[in-house]
Structure formats: C-alpha cells, structure tokens
Structure 1
Amino acid sequence: MKIIKKEKLPPWISKSFTDGVYRTVKTKENIILYRTYGGNAKIQGAFATTLPARNRINAKINSALVPDWKNSRQYEAIIEVPKGTTLNIGRVEKQYTKSGSLLQGDGDQILLPQNWPKDWIKDTIKVPSK
C-alpha cells in the first residue's frame, strides 16, 4: 500500500479510529479483507479488518462491536479489494457498553469506499459462536 494525501473524514468516523489516527492509502495490489456482519449489520457495510474472526466473541472485542449496534457477528464476508483502491486504515478505538464494560478494540480497521461493489465479496462463512 502506498500512503497518499490524508482524506478528511467526518468526526464520527475519524473518532472510530484509536485516538482519531488513520492513514489514507492506495492499494498496490489486490488485498483480502474480512467483514463480520449479521442482524442490523449488512454485508456491504463501511468497515472491515485484515484478519478473519476466529469466533464471535473475538470479533466483538477486537472490533469493539457494541451490542446496541445489533451486529450479530454471525457471518463473515471475505472481500477482495482491487489494486488502485483508496482506503483509510488505522486501529479500532475502544468502546464501552451501556453497562460500562470495556470492549478493547485495537484490531485493524479499514474504512472501505462508500458504496463499494458487491462483486468484491469472494465468499461468506458462518462465524463460530466460541
């Protein structure tokens, strides 16, 4: 990936990166990303990561998926992003649940281009609960 001029993101998106820190890059080759989804979280959502979820608990903690967002984490899309695509990358900011529990975050966070094409999805798998 090649670092390019940083895109200015809306505050609610930039705050989802640890300490608001992210880089804007252009892919030099096709890359594989993973998106855990289900429930209210759609397959073609905005965020993905570089590592597959080993289970739903892992996905919840590493991606700081607050239960209020109603992402069941039941499925994972395997996404092939083509060479030459602009992405914003960083680490997932920690989140707190309503009860005050900490979801650590700190996994890789990739902001996909808005309205990215469904044909980037190469496969979907069911994510184990444990």
Structure 2
Amino acid sequence: MASGDHHHGKTNVVYQFNPADYGPFNVLDGDHFNNFTGGSYYMTTPKEDNIMLYRLYGGNATAEGQHWTLEPRKGNDGYRHDAAVLKPWNTLEHAVELIVPRGVHMYEGFVGRQKGYLGGGWQVFIPREVVKSV
C-alpha cells in the first residue's frame, strides 16, 4: 500500500499487510502475523532520527524480546490484558527502553487475542536479531 503517516504520528508506514498478504512474517520463525488482530499489521520506520520503545519483561521473558510499546507501561492487569501476555511467558516486573534509529523496519498493529486475553492494545514487533543490533 502507499507510504504515509501512521495514526500516532511517530512512524511512517512503509506497507500495510493483511491475511491475504502477510509479508515478511511468512519467512520468520513462528506465525507472528497471528499476534496481530486479524493478521493485519503495518511495516513502519521511525519518522524522526530515532524513536524510543518500551518493554516490560521478567521470568521467561528477556530484555531483548520482540514485542514493544510506544509508551511506557506498568506491569498491571490492564497491561497484561491489552498486550495479551500470559503469566508463564512474562512476569512484567522489569522495564527496558530501546532507541530505534530511522530506517529500521518495525511491524506495528493491534495485539491479537491469546488464551483468555482479548488483546487490542498497540504493539511494535521487531525481530530479535534486529533488537540485538540496534
């Protein structure tokens, strides 16, 4: 689809993917497109020189994970439901920030549901190899 500004104004949309055109997630390990509501998501890049992303982690989840938010969050039940984070996956007790430079591709969209959690919050997905390199 056409390039343009995304609704929150912090990133530029490079392409919009959907279940019929699920893009790069068909070559990454796992079925990551299912982590987005309806399998729809955007490929974006930071609008400014860089963007700050935020992540909560703990337990089995590490600081170098793939799922991030655009705003700092607290590890409460509201966040757990919005992000559809199962307790065995992540205890949400630690916070980390990540500065992502312009030109890095990120994947954004609404969180899909997971085993009892509705999701619906906004997430930014960056493959682990990219997270480790920025």
Q: TM-score range by the shorter chain?
A: 0.7 to 0.9
Q: Calculate the TM-score normalised by the size of structure 2.
A: 0.74
1:80 aligns to 2:96 (yes or no): no
> Which structure carries more strand by proportion?
1
SS in 1 for 2:74: coil
Aligned equivalents of 2:70 and 2:36: distance in 1? Answer: 15
Residue by residue over 1:4-31, the C-alpha shift from the partner in whole angstroms, topping out at 9 and shown as x without a partner, is: 2454203610000011010111222211
Residue aligning to 2:45: 26
Alignment coverage as a number of residue pairs: 114
Gaps of 5+ in 2: 1-10, 18-22
Q: CA deviation at 1:117?
A: 4.8
Q: Calculate the TM-score normalised by the size of structure 1.
A: 0.76
- Counterpart among 19, 25, 29 of residue 9 in structure 1: 25
> Which structure carries more helix by proportion?
2
Gaps of 5+ in 1: 97-101, 121-130
Counting aligned pairs with the same residue, the percent is 29
Residue aligning to 1:104: 118
SS in 2 for 1:80: strand
Q: Which has the higher contact order (CA 8 A, sep 6+)?
A: 1
SS in 1 for 2:93: strand
Aligned equivalents of 2:71 and 2:103: distance in 1? Answer: 21
